[in-house]
Amino acid sequence: MNSWFSHPVESVIESIESLKQENRYNEARDIALQALARYTDDYRLYEELADIYLFENNLEKAEEVIGYARALHPESGTGTYLEWYIAVVRGDFEHAIEVLTHANIVMPNNAEVIRNLGWAYVMKGEIPRGLALLRRAHLLAPQEMMIVNDLWVALMASGLEEEARDLFEKTGHTLGLNAIKAMDA
């Protein structure tokens, strides 16, 4: 990206992301807070701060901050994901499903949204519905290992061990095949 045309917040977000990757959350949080003092209406900075709070296991602050981000930009994919994640951690699967159902309307055929929606249904105990969504996500992104893993768990929970085995064989997921073989022993 040409820095001549980039917004100053872009470089701040890059710095925050780098610090998070290095597990330097205190520094990342400080930079995010300083940037928010100047750019109070940039929802991305609130999202970054919420993500930092999640890494620090401060769910209350993460929830508060993601609320600001969502108020500024309700259609943000990152904000939607963070709100969903907080709901799942809290065990509020109804809210998680509500958030992702809306995201699925805004971003149709997004494999990650559909995967998370399917997983929320599985966690709620509506395994057949979750399984249908996970299968759809897998059709959209067949090599995405998070989808394969979530689909495998839902298949196993449904007693569909043979389909789970076939899934792992088709994707070359040797770790999953070894887990199934260990269960057979």
- Angle in degrees, CA 94, 100, 104, rounded to 5: 140
Q: Which CATH number fits domain 96-185: 3.40.1000.10, 3.30.230.70, 1.25.40.10, 3.40.50.2300?
A: 1.25.40.10
**For residue 109, with 0-12 CB atoms within 10 Å meaning exposed, 13-18 middle and 19 or more buried, which class applies?**
exposed
pLDDT at 178: 57
Regions of the chain with pLDDT less than 50: 1-5
Domain 10-90, CATH 1.25.40.10 — does that match? yes
CATH 1.25.40.10 in the chain is located at 10-90, 96-185
124's CB contacts (< 8 A; 6+ apart) are 93, 94, 97, 130
pLDDT at 135: 97
For the record, the structure tokens of 143 come out as 């090599």
pLDDT at 83: 93
pLDDT at 168: 80
The Cα 81–Cα 165 span in angstroms is 30
For the record, the structure tokens of 106 come out as 């805004």
Closest CA to 20 of 55, 59, 64: 55
pLDDT at 185: 58
pLDDT at 182: 60
pLDDT at 62: 96
